[in-house]
Amino acid sequence: MIPISPPVTPKTCYDEKYDDHHHDSYDPILIADLKTITKRSRVKSIPRRSPSPSTRHCFTMNLSDLYSKKKPQPKQTKKSKSDTAALYDALDITQPDKEFFQDDPQWIPNMDAFAQYPHVKAVWKGTPLDISHMPYYELLHPGEVEVASILRLTPEQYLRCRRALIVGAQQFDKLQMTFRKSDAQKCVRIDVNKTSTLWTVFSRLGWFNPRQH
């Protein structure tokens, strides 16, 4: 049998040992180029150090800081009591109207207005409240008893509201301003709808204007 030698793999890169024995069969210029390429391929890459943890984020920027933040809203404080609302709490309802308005008697409420304007009535849903046994009932005019009973107000509540609203109208009149329902609601401490009804009744009775003698 004839021995078969293993196949020879052609050289793909330059080998100096191979070149020493076969340099006559290669072009000198080609050999020089191969040596240069081989030396360049053998150059080791220098590893780069990663930044230390202390300086890793020194060049980063938080994009959320670029957006304007909403300014905190100041806390809303409660409004101070108006003079008329403070008067509502400090009123002496046992003092007669003639004494209270003695400096300006034109603002004394005219009780004869109930007979002059019989169509003026308070309207409210629900059953009228029996106030005949409550304190200060004796200080009410019969027409006022009906208004307070329909609105389900105690005699004390009604008397405070009547005086506070008339005083409020008096102050607005001095300023030459109209005394509105919204102004009346700031003078007393009862339901705003009941206050609006009282404002309508007192206005129609002429109590929000100085009496003409």
DSSP letters for 159-182: HHHHHHHHHHHHHHHHTT----HH
Range of the domain at 117: 82-203
CA 153 – CA 155 distance, rounded (Å)? 6
Number of domains composing the chain: 1
* Domain contains 8: no
CA 43 – CA 212 distance, rounded (Å)? 116
C-alpha R_g of the chain: 52
pLDDT of residue 65: 44
CA 175 – CA 83 distance, rounded (Å)? 15
* Domain contains 143: yes
C-alpha 170, offset from chain centre: 35
* Domain contains 150: yes
* Domain contains 100: yes
pLDDT digits (tens, 9 = 90+) for 98-154: 999 999 999 999 999 999 999 999 999 989 999 999 999 999 999 999 999 999 999
* Domain contains 18: no
pLDDT digits (tens, 9 = 90+) for 162-181: 999 999 999 999 999 999 99
* Domain contains 41: no
pTM exceeds cut of 0.75: no
CA 170 – CA 173 distance, rounded (Å)? 5
CA 210 – CA 213 distance, rounded (Å)? 9
* Domain contains 147: yes
* Domain contains 61: no
